Amino acid sequence: MRIHLDRDACQGHNRCYLLAPELFDVDDEGYAVLLVEGDVPAGLEDKARLAADNCPEYAITLED
Q: Contact positions toward ligand F3S, by CB under 6 A?
A: 10-16, 31-32, 55, 57, 59-60
Tell the smallest beta-carbon distance from residue 49 to ligand F3S (Å).
13
Strands (E), 6-59: 24-26, 32-34
User: By C-beta, is 13 or 49 nearer to ligand F3S?
Assistant: 13
User: By C-beta, is 29 or 64 nearer to ligand F3S?
Assistant: 29
Non-local (6+) Cβ contacts of 56 within 8 A are 11, 13, 15
Tell the smallest beta-carbon distance from residue 23 to ligand F3S (Å).
10
Strands (E), 1-64: 2-5, 24-26, 32-34, 60-63
Tell the smallest beta-carbon distance from residue 11 to ligand F3S (Å).
5
